[in-house]
Amino acid sequence: MATCGEVLVNLLESYGVDQVFGIPGVHTVELYRGLARSSIRHVTPRHEQGAGFMADGYARTSGKPGVCFIITGPGMTNITTAMGQAYADSIPMLVISSVQARSQLGGGRGKLHELPSQSALVAGVAAFSHTLMSAAELPGVLARAFALFQAGRPRPVHIEIPLDVLVENADALMGSAPVSVARAGAAPAAVRQMSRLLAAAKRPLILAGGGAIDAAPELTRLAETLGAPMALTINAKGLLPAAHPLLLGSTQSLAATRAMVAEADVVLAIGTELAETDYDVTFAGGFEIPGALLRVDIDPDQTVRNYPPQMALVADATIAAEALLTELNRQPLAPRNTGWGAARVARLWAELAPTWDAATRAQTLLLHTVLEKLPDAVLVGDSTQPVYSGNLTLNLEHPRRWFNSSTGYGTLGYALPAAIGAWLGRGNGQPVVCLIGDGGLQFTLPELASAVEARIPVIVLLWNNQGYEEIKKYMLNRAIEPVGVDIYTPDFIGIAKAMGCAAESIDGVEPLRAALQAAAARPGPTLIEVDQERWALTKP
């Protein structure tokens, strides 16, 4: 007899799932009955939040949904923070949990791990939550989940399976086939109207977000066809290559870039929420789009949020960009304003160069050193100072190589487990570097043991400033006496070595290069500690 749990594993394989993150428990063992016989790899984090962050990082580098097996009750409360981060950044994540038997749902009888309603708990951090009331529902609800991942705005999905349904006879479902759903096309009439507006523009500009990263080649050609400068959100870094003459980087929160956006007569926003943490990290307001705004998004609701457009197109970013290119090639383009395009972008970078303060330059040097030594590395960041600097100053050659938790939901502790997942999702053995502060690392420090156990050679670059430095500055700037920010700093080198990691402290560019080279050659994780004060004295 094949149980519902076994059929689930079989169906996940058929959808191309090759990785699951989870911590087995008494309420989830039936999910594992068929796992050992499958081709799916399992990694055990040290906390369910770590499972969610690993799934998130895996999804960002692989482009496939990250999958978690999570136990009833505390497992679900633990993973909700990670689901919140994935929800905010539109990351595909499938959370499969157990739940009390059908006859006991919401019973309040004090059963092990009992909650009044797990679905209600995750309602705000999931696209949907479904309770499987019979094994026969399984193929249909998985089809719903993967339809969302394939063709909609990808966000976490939660499927909970009652304990009695997990062991239900599901022999009849073993032949169930996966469902494939194509993404939305671009309405021809809307494409024609948008292309006419873009063709007539004298100062066009493109704002591209994380929802457009798979359209990098098409959007590059579109920008070049229009001579349109392109600004990227943090999650879209690399969509336009670093040295491209039309690249504005991710500098939209700076006054000089905002002034340039205000000069544009037509702005095409594609795959972006136009949200605060992408365009207003100072939280002071002031990002304005006075020109005609055209929006392209896979989510109809999002096309009218934050900045209402003159017109919008609901479509896949790649399909929309291809359609716009085709239409633009059929019509003449208006002459661009003298000094727009690459010339205006060059002027912007010349304006910005002298504005970086010493701390920003020092932290950018750290990041450039990493990429100089490990040019193919993925950099996974937490909320920490070098990440804030890199969000502004660093440009990448390809997408899916820079992402972090300093925007959107903004959780601490994200980078270490997400980097583990990112290495697994990348699947080519290339380096993955975790950028994290001493405060953030203490949130998920036990996941070093997960990396050791799974032999994942993630490189943890620890920025140590002995506390929550940015929050301390924020308090002082608001005339608040700092409380709770000067936290105890443990011996990270000793802890990392005790967990089985290689670990060392460095204090300059050459020692960092040597440490990175050694770390990249190891089969397991490495922690490299950088003291903020000593690094501030470093010269290129």
Per-residue pLDDT reduced to its tens digit, 187-213: 999 999 999 999 999 999 999 999 999
Domain ranges of the chain: 4-173, 188-351, 356-536
User: Of 366, 411, 430, 431, which Cα lies nearest the Cα of 393?
Assistant: 366
Q: Which CATH class is domain 356-536?
A: alpha beta
- Bigger pLDDT: 67 or 408? 67
Give the mean pLDDT of the chain: 94
Q: Residues 141-166: pLDDT tens digits?
A: 999 999 999 999 999 999 999 999 99
Count of H-run helices and E-run strands, the chain: 21, 18
pLDDT of residue 158: 98
Share of the chain above pLDDT 90, in %: 83
Element (DSSP H or E) covering residue 249: strand 247-249
Q: What angle do CA 378, 383, 388 make, to 5 degrees?
A: 75
> Could you give the C-alpha distances from 462 to 157, 431, 465, in angstroms and in order?
32, 16, 10
Residue 377 has pLDDT above 80, yes or no: yes
Q: Record the tokens describing residue 247, joined without a space.
A: 């690249």
Reply yes or no on whether the pLDDT at 440 is more than 90: yes
The pLDDT score that the predictor gives to residue 282 is 53
Class level of CATH domain 4-173 = alpha beta
Burial environment of residue 515 by CB neighbours within 10 A (0 to 12, 13 to 18, 19 or more): buried
Domains 188-351 and 356-536 share a fold: yes
Encode pLDDT of 54-64 as tens digits. Answer: 999 999 999 99
The CATH code belonging to domain 188-351 is: 3.40.50.1220
Among candidate residues 207, 197, 214, 254, the one with its CA nearest the CA of residue 228: 207
> Taking residues 339-354, what's their average pLDDT?
95
90-119 pLDDT, tens digit each: 999 999 999 988 887 777 787 778 788 899
Handedness of CA 404, 406, 411, 413 (dihedral sign): positive
Residue 412 gets the label, from left (phi > 0), alpha (psi -120 to 50) or beta, of beta
Q: Between 49 and 27, name the one with better pLDDT.
A: 49
